[in-house]
Amino acid sequence: MNAHPGEDRLETPTGAILRVLRVSLHVGFAVLLLVAVIRLLAGAGVAPSAVALAAGLGLSGALALVYLAGTVLEKRHASGASPFDPTPYARWWLATVMLLWLLLLLVSGDFAWVAFPLFFLQLHILPRRAALPAIVVSTALLVGALWFHGRGTPDGGLQLAMILGPLFGAGFAVVTGTAYRALFQEAESQRLVADELRRTRAELARTQHEAGMVSERERLAREIHDTLAQGFSSIILMGRSAEKALADGQPETAQERLRTVQETASANLAEARSFVRGLRSPDLAQSGLVDTLSRLCAKTEAEAAARGTDLRCRFELVGSPVELPGSYQTTLLRAAQASLANVWAHAHAHAAVVTLSFPGTEVTMDVFDDGVGFDSTTLAGTARGDGTGVGLSGLRERLAALDGSMEIESAPGEGTVVAIRLPLPEEGAA
């Protein structure tokens, strides 16, 4: 029970020194007590009576058991093996140990030397303002016991060694105990800093994990909106158009609409599988960005015609194409898909043009339509409660991840232009 709480958890070199000192204290106490018992049994000095011998052995056994019980309980609690905390009872334990030692002093002066490890216990368990007076009183009792048991010897009486020995022992205990406490405070401070660092790392890891989960959810939301959601919307419209064609007695038209539904569903299935595998768009995997954008324009025009909308959509390439990283190609394709989806869903346009340009150190894409337009100053670009309205905000997030930008120019009755700018990577520019 002489160790400080938390000392067993110290993993620093200072903590190892403290453990060595504590073990040395226990070993020293056991050795001194054993030597005193052996001298008592051997009858060194004045031979004890049978009563004194029995009392000495009984009190020594009791002292050993009390000391051992206290240290074991403290050790188990400090290591976490026992929930019982003996700290509130430490002073009562010390008082019991000191009382048994004083009774042993009355039996034999050989037990005087057990006082030196007890000085350390007083320094560790009691506050300093109480420990120092307790050591002074214990030293005085030790000197008195040595004088009392030395009266019957040829050199009886109070001698200088009886005073200097206990005084030097007490002084050494005070100095060593003070150094021990300073070492413990330093080690405890290091332990607290290490615990705080571990907590900070764990919190940082948790925060990064949550941020990664949020980022992945946002990425999937953008992918689903730009691909699956657009495809399902097209399937619904084509299905309605096919149903109307059948009702009007136009089976050929209905068959053509159903073929479009099948193609769109197949494309959506391929996109969904690419999400699972973590790959880029299957359209880009089969051909380059230029061909994919050209096919997208043709598909948009065909779907508009299938719905009875007169929309002409064409693709234009300006400059020599540069091989772009997969992330750039996916971002530009998704931007074109989202922009053209807005054209046929909201613009009521008759013409749309997708222009891909490579002017020097950047790649640009403009999506123009001659539709009804809108007031771009009131554009929110935020998600609505029904899951729609995430296209523009998701597109801005995609572009921001690549240091790109997007500008929307529109006015009521004057059409709309969506302008995308992406800086080329160094390899692409080279």
| Residue entry with tokens 């959601």 | 229
Distances (CA, A) of 40 to 30, 54, 78, 112, 147: 15, 10, 36, 12, 18
pLDDT, tens digit, for every residue of 101-126?
888 888 887 888 888 888 878 877 88
pLDDT, tens digit, for every residue of 198-215?
888 888 888 887 777 777
Predicted pLDDT at 119: 82
Q: How many helices (H) and strands (E) in the chain? A: 13, 5
Predicted pLDDT at 314: 93
Report the phi/psi class of residue 394: left, alpha or beta, with left for phi > 0 and alpha for psi in -120 to 50: alpha
pLDDT, tens digit, for every residue of 43-83?
765 556 788 888 888 998 998 899 888 888 888 877 777 78
Tokens linked to 263: 């193609």
Predicted pLDDT at 108: 82
For 312, the 3-state DSSP assignment is: strand
Tokens linked to 175: 């100095």
Q: How far is the C-alpha of 51 from the C-alpha of 108, rounded, in Å?
A: 12
Rg (CA), the chain: 44
For 129, the 3-state DSSP assignment is: helix
Q: Which helix (H) or strand (E) holds 362?
A: strand 362-369
Q: Is there a contact between 301 and 350 (Cβ–Cβ < 8 Å)?
A: no
Mean per-residue pLDDT pooled into runs of 10, the chain (430 residues): 47 62 82 86 70 86 89 80 82 88 84 82 81 82 76 57 71 74 75 85 82 72 70 79 82 82 79 64 73 89 79 91 86 87 84 92 92 77 48 78 89 90 69
Q: How far is the C-alpha of 271 from the C-alpha of 220, rounded, in Å?
A: 12
Q: What does pTM read for this prediction?
A: 0.44
Distances (CA, A) of 46 to 64, 113, 152: 24, 17, 8
Predicted pLDDT at 181: 72
Q: How far is the C-alpha of 175 from the C-alpha of 254, rounded, in Å?
A: 101
Count the neighbouring beta carbons within 10 Å of the beta carbon of residue 26.
16
For 150, the 3-state DSSP assignment is: coil
Distances (CA, A) of 110 to 11, 34, 35, 89, 172: 39, 10, 8, 29, 20
Query: SS in 3 state form for 33-58?
Result: HHHHHHHHHHCCCCCCCHHHHHHHHH
Q: CA angle 233-239-245, nearest 5°?
A: 140
Q: Is there a contact between 415 and 368 (Cβ–Cβ < 8 Å)?
A: yes
Tokens linked to 91: 């002073």
Q: How far is the C-alpha of 313 from the C-alpha of 315, rounded, in Å?
A: 7
Determine the residue type at 31.
Answer: V
Q: Is there a contact between 46 and 115 (Cβ–Cβ < 8 Å)?
A: no
Burial of 250 (0-12, 13-18, 19+ CB in 10 A): middle
Predicted pLDDT at 285: 63
Predicted pLDDT at 385: 45
Q: Is there a contact between 412 and 372 (Cβ–Cβ < 8 Å)?
A: yes
